[in-house]
């Protein structure tokens, strides 16, 4: 089974640790993006997944999928390692509406799968992003899901009219307004994980997934000045594709608190050796040979008086004072 940390685990190991499955679906998408990026020799990637309800973004820098322990599910903090994904309420089913100031808004409310967008013909009456896409011709009404689901352009137009008319717009103008509004919102969400963290989006390749993602990707890239967009043929099954690109793995941790200059090297080396032995035994139970195992060491570091740690890579093998100093230097740079 897939874990929220971006690894694949056995069912037996997951049953008593169900919390590690929270958010595991979206966690697969960045693995798919990294697989495609590696094949195309792109190390800096922005993975976006736009489905029916949400828009998920992950920034991958130098081929590393980021993780975090600062995640919230509703009002609850989830203090476990998760792939660092920023989610927002924007998708094909996001509903367009007019606020108290007379301004057009899109989402976070969604029509969901039932009744879904008005164009689905299942009783939905409120205008959605998909209805705007259909009205503008970006989604062919006669070839949705390979032609298996015909879309009702008349119902889509009637739904769009409910927001276009109060804004003194024609139906096409209303659809265009919905389309550009949601695109601008998604572009802003990308800057949340890039520009506002000190990264230039123009240095990244946009990898697109989700049923609605490919329709909007080029427009989002144009807004942000992103030069390259990758749309895989399996975009609609983006996370499922990512699952096949994920590694079998398990996280092991030990607690040891010390100031950097006072670290007991013998104890730290012993802790790493214990974890590696435990990891080998664990992998053996999953029919993974020792020569197939790769160890990835990290340590959580912080300055005195701070609460939040920064995860830093630690060298393999027996650690000496030199490796500790190198880790401290990495921490200072990353901080």
- Structural element, H or E, at residue 106: strand 104-110
Is-contact 9 250, C-beta < 8 A?
Answer: yes
DSSP 156: H
Is-contact 90 50, C-beta < 8 A?
Answer: yes
Percentage above 70 pLDDT, the chain: 100
Is-contact 200 186, C-beta < 8 A?
Answer: no
DSSP 202: G
Contacts 24+ apart (CB under 8 A), 114-117: 117/92, 117/93, 117/156, 117/159
3-class DSSP state for residue 207?
strand
What is the distance between the alpha carbons of residues 324 and 212, in angstroms, rounded to a whole number?
47
Average pLDDT along the chain: 91
What is the tens place of the pLDDT at every residue in 76-87?
888 788 899 999
Query: What is the structure's pLDDT at 119?
Result: 92
Phi, psi of 249 (to 5 degrees): -170, 170
**241: Cβ–Cβ under 8 A, 6 or more apart, which residues?**
28, 32, 209, 232, 234
Kindly state the average pLDDT of the residues 231-258: 89
Residue 79: closest CA among 68, 63, 88: 68
What is the distance between the alpha carbons of residues 119 and 83, in angstroms, rounded to a whole number?
35
What is the tens place of the pLDDT at every residue in 251-279?
888 999 999 889 999 999 999 999 999 98
What is the tens place of the pLDDT at every residue in 209-226?
999 999 999 999 999 999
Question: Which residues are 50's β-sheet partners?
Answer: 55
Query: What is the structure's pLDDT at 219?
Result: 96
What is the tens place of the pLDDT at every residue in 81-137?
889 999 999 999 999 999 999 999 998 999 988 889 999 989 989 999 999 999 999
**218: Cβ–Cβ under 8 A, 6 or more apart, which residues?**
229
Domains of the chain (ranges, CATH numbers) = 11-91+182-244 (3.30.420), 94-176 (no CATH), 260-334 (no CATH)
What is the distance between the alpha carbons of residues 312 and 120, in angstroms, rounded to a whole number?
49
Query: What is the structure's pLDDT at 3?
Result: 86
Ramachandran quadrant class, 145 (left: phi over 0; alpha: psi -120 to 50; beta: rest)? left
Residue 90: closest CA among 141, 149, 130, 144: 130
Query: What is the structure's pLDDT at 75?
Result: 79
3-class DSSP state for residue 262?
helix
Query: What is the structure's pLDDT at 194?
Result: 93
Query: What is the structure's pLDDT at 67?
Result: 86
Kindly state the average pLDDT of the residues 19-46: 91
Query: What is the structure's pLDDT at 15?
Result: 85
- Structural element, H or E, at residue 31: helix 24-39
**How, if at all, do strands 45-50 and 76-78 pair?**
unpaired
Q: Sorting pLDDT into bands at 50, 70 and 90, what band is 146?
A: confident
């Amino acid at each position: 089974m897939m874990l929220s940390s971006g690894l694949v685990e056995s069912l037996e190991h997951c049953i008593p640790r169900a919390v590690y499955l929270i958010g595991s679906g979206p966690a697969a998408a960045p693995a798919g993006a990294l697989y495609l990026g590696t094949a195309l020799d792109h190390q800096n990637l922005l993975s976006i997944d736009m489905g029916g309800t949400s828009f998920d973004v992950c920034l991958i820098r130098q081929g590393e999928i980021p993780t975090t322990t600062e995640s919230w599910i509703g009002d609850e903090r989830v203090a476990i390692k998760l792939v660092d994904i920023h989610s927002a309420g924007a998708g094909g089913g996001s509903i367009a509406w007019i606020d108290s100031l007379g301004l057009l808004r899109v989402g976070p409310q969604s029509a969901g799968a039932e009744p879904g967008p008005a164009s689905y013909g299942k009783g939905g009456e409120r205008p959605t992003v998909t209805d705007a896409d259909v009205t503008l011709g970006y989604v062919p009404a006669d070839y949705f899901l390979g032609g298996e689901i015909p879309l009702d352009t008349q119902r889509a137009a009637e739904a769009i009219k409910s927001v276009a008319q109060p804004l003194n717009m024609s139906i096409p103008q209303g659809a265009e307004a919905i389309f550009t509004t949601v695109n601008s919102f998604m572009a802003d969400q990308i800057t949340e994980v890039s520009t506002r963290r000190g990264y230039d989006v123009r240095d990244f390749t946009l990898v697109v997934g989700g049923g609605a993602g490919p329709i909007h990707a080029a427009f989002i890239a144009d807004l942000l000045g992103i030069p390259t967009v990758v749309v895989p043929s399996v975009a609609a099954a983006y996370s499922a594709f990512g699952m096949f690109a994920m590694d079998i793995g398990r996280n092991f941790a030990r607690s040891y608190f010390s100031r950097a200059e006072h670290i007991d090297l013998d104890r730290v080396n012993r802790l790493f050796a214990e974890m590696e032995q435990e990891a080998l035994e664990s992998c053996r139970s999953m029919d993974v040979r020792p020569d197939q195992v790769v160890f990835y060491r990290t340590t959580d570091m912080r300055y005195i008086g701070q609460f939040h740690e920064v995860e830093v890579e630690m060298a393999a093998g027996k650690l000496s004072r030199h490796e500790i100093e190198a880790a401290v230097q990495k921490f200072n740079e990353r901080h």
